Each structure stands twice: as structure tokens, then as C-alpha cells.
Amino acid sequence: MNHDATTAAVPVDSTVPTPSQGASALPARALGPLRVPAIGFGAMVLSPGMYGEVDEPRGVRALRAAIDAGSTLIDTSDGYGQDGHNERLVGRAIAGRREDVVVATKFGFRMLPGAEPHRFSVGFTFGELAVNADPRYVRAYAEQSLRELGTDYIDLYYPHFPDPRIPIEETVGAVADLVDAGLVRSIGLSNATAEHLRAAHAVHPIAAVQTEWSMWRPIDPELLRAGRELGVGFVAWSPLGGGFLTGSVTRIDDGDFRRNAPRFSDENLAVNNDRFAPIRSTAHELGLTPGQLALAWLLAQDPAVVPIPGSRTPAHILENVDAARTPLHPDTLGRLTTVLAGISAAGATLL
Ligand SMILES: NC(=O)c1ccc[n+]([C@@H]2O[C@H](COP(=O)([O-])OP(=O)(O)OC[C@H]3O[C@@H](n4cnc5c(N)ncnc54)[C@H](OP(=O)(O)O)[C@@H]3O)[C@@H](O)[C@H]2O)c1
């Protein structure tokens, strides 16, 4: 690789072993008490109806490729795919190697019998989402996920969204009971505000907040400040901007959920590909792919950020994981900061 690397820019606390023989260990990071690889794997892409074609064998192959490459933080949710599809897929892929993997899942989308959906607007074409994170259902959610995953503990358990009708303290209090019962190791929050984080952390230590964060979607500065103050890790979802930052997306087909985001309309994609051309050029100069540059940039934003790119394709997964071994020179980071400050993406994202 022809990049201007230093070892100083991306702090790591150690490495995590890579299960596949011969591969070198990945740098490790801390999410609260959890030690995880610097780049995890987002499994959402492996359920039909999200991003284009995928079937069960392809999904299991992708998950095993990620784990073999050391990307052993696996992110799923009860809401990905139909009726627990994604958690079952993860369960199949981790069977026999549970101890190699940090399993993170989320609850509140897959309604339990009797649970009333609490709707909230996320705007744009995506419209409304519905969750129920009532503390009365939290244990049953966890038991459902444990069954699907084929395991008896969840390493990191998040309410997928704060419930608009239930104070976050009540939801998190019920997850804390699962920690006491040994079903859950650590608690996370997903799509939460700084206010949610502070309130939840007062009930039980929060290991990580999961939020959209990438070169084309800055993190909320208040959330960043609160997480840093409280020692909470950041799990960055859509770290490749849903694939856009790899430079390979020029059109989204019907049936792909990204079509719901104005940022991915044909017109905005063309504009955005033009606007991000300088980032792609910088990647090429450094001997990196644009996606690797996007991930290496994210890793340099905070020592406690862990991106979770998703992919159906083993070659892409290996490429992504390699970004964890590619610290960027401070001069490069300075240049990227300047370039990114001059770019604003056209169109809103999903949330
Ligand atoms: N908490 C939440 O509400 C929330 C919301 C969204 C996502 N997430 C989590 O975050 C994870 C990642 O987010 P995401 O899937 O939305 O977006 P992403 O990781 O930014 O992008 C995924 C897309 O990028 C493509 N891709 C990945 N690596 C590539 C490479 N090296 N070269 C070319 N294309 C590449 C994939 O296609 P291929 O399959 O062809 O590689 C896929 O279409 C999800 O899986 C999920 O676990 C959480």
C-alpha cells in the first residue's frame, strides 16, 4: 500500500486475535468493558429486502468471512429481515464459535404478542417507524433473540430506538435486570440523543451508543461530547454511507431500501458523486480504496469509535477490515477535514 501511514494517529489499546490461521490480528478498541476489533461487521445487509439480492448461503459465507478476518463484533437486530431472519442467520454462522464473537443485537421492532406499536416519524419517504421498548416486554424480547441466535447470552444489547412513549430510564432499567440475570453482558443505546445517553447512563453504565456517522453524515456534536465525558464508546452505523463512500453507487434499484432516502435519488447521487470526487482522488493517491479511506478517517475521529460496515461480499469484507491497519497521517487528516468542510451532501439521509 502506498499511503503515508504513521502509527500515531489511530490509538489502539491492543489487538484481538484473528480466528483464521495465518491472518494477523486486528487492532482492538474498547466499548465500555467490551474489547472488540476496531472494525466490526453489520449484518443488516444480509437479510432480503434491504440491499439487493442475498440468500442464506451467501449470508452465512459473508458472516464467516468477517469472523475469519477478525471482524468479530457482529451487529444484528430483532428488526432485520422478516420474523427474526437476521438473528437466525447470525446464529447459524456463529454456531460452534460463540466464544470468538461479540454478539450485539437490538430490540423493540419485532413486536411481541400484545405489545402495542408506538409510532414515530422519521420523516422523508421512510415515513414512520414503530417500536415498543416497554420494560414489561424487555425480558421476553431478550429470550426471543437468544433463541434465534442460539446462544445463552448477548454481549451488547440495545433498544433499537428510544421508545417515544417510555422514558429511556425505564427501558434501560429493565435491560439492567437482564445483566443481573446473566443474559446480557453490556448495555448500548441506538439512535439516542445526548439527553437519552445521560439519563440512561445514570441508571446503568452504557458501553456504547450506536449512531449514523460517516464522511457524509457527521455525528451530533452533543452526543459526541456526552459519550466522551461518560467514557461511552461509539458504534458508527452506515460508516460507508450505505455504500456511497466506496464510490461504486451510481443508481439504486427498486426494492432496495436506500431508494427511500432522498440522498440516493438518481439526481442527488449524480450530484453527490461529483461533490465527493476529491475524496476519491485522495484515496487513489494514498493507494487506498475510497471505502478504506472512509473507514480509516472514521477510526481517526475518536479512539472509541468502531465502524460496522456491512457487506455480502467476502472480498469487500477483507478490504474493509484492512482499513483498521491503515492509520492516516495527521497531514492527510487535516487535508480531509478541509475538503469535507467544503462538501455538503445533497438530499437527506434515511433518519
Ligand atoms: N442502529 C440503526 O438504526 C442502524 C441503521 C442502519 C444500519 N445499522 C447497522 O450498521 C450496519 C452497516 O450499515 P449499512 O449496511 O446501512 O451501510 P454501510 O455499511 O455504510 O454500506 C453497506 C453497503 O456498502 C456496500 N459495500 C460494503 N463494502 C464495500 C466495498 N468494500 N466495496 C464496495 N461496496 C461495499 C455493500 O454492498 P456489498 O454487499 O455489495 O458489499 C452495501 O451495499 C448495518 O448492517 C447494521 O448492522 C444500524
Summarize pLDDT for 272-316 with one digit per residue, the tens. Answer: 999 999 999 999 999 999 999 999 999 999 999 999 999 999 999
Give me the chain's average pLDDT, please: 92
What is the end-to-end Cα distance of the chain in Å, rounded? 36
Check 80, 137, 141, 158 and give the catalytic one. 80
Residue 308, all three cell numbers: 460496522
Query: Tell me, what's the pLDDT at 3?
Result: 36
Query: Tell me, what's the pLDDT at 5?
Result: 33
The residue length of the chain stands at: 351
Query: Tell me, what's the pLDDT at 118?
Result: 96
Query: Which of 44, 189, 251, 293 is the best mutation target for the ligand 1 pocket, counting ligand atoms within 8 Å of the beta carbon and taking the most?
Result: 44
Atom of ligand 1 nearest to the CA of 106: 1
Superfamily of domain 14-341: NADP-dependent oxidoreductase domain (3.20.20.100)
Pocket lined around ligand 1, Cβ cut-off 6 Å: 42-45, 51, 75, 190-191, 210, 237-243, 246, 248, 291, 308-313, 316, 319-320
What is d(CA 49, CA 258) in angstroms, rounded to the nearest whole number? 10
Go through 100-128 and write b for each residue having 16 or more CB atoms within 10 A of its CB, e for each that does not.
ebbbbbbbbbbbbeebeebeeeeeeeeee
What is d(CA 145, CA 176) in angstroms, rounded to the nearest whole number? 16
Cα(239) to ligand 1 centroid in Å equals 7
Question: Is 50 exceeded by the pLDDT of residue 107?
Answer: yes
Lowest average pLDDT, out of 3-12, 92-101, 146-155, goes to 3-12
9 pLDDT band (50/70/90 cuts)? very low
Q: Partners of 237 in the beta sheet?
A: 212
Verify whether residue 80 is a known catalytic residue: yes
125 pLDDT band (50/70/90 cuts)? low
Cα(238) to ligand 1 centroid in Å equals 5
Cα(263) to ligand 1 centroid in Å equals 15
156 backbone dihedrals φ, ψ, rounded to 5°: -140, 120
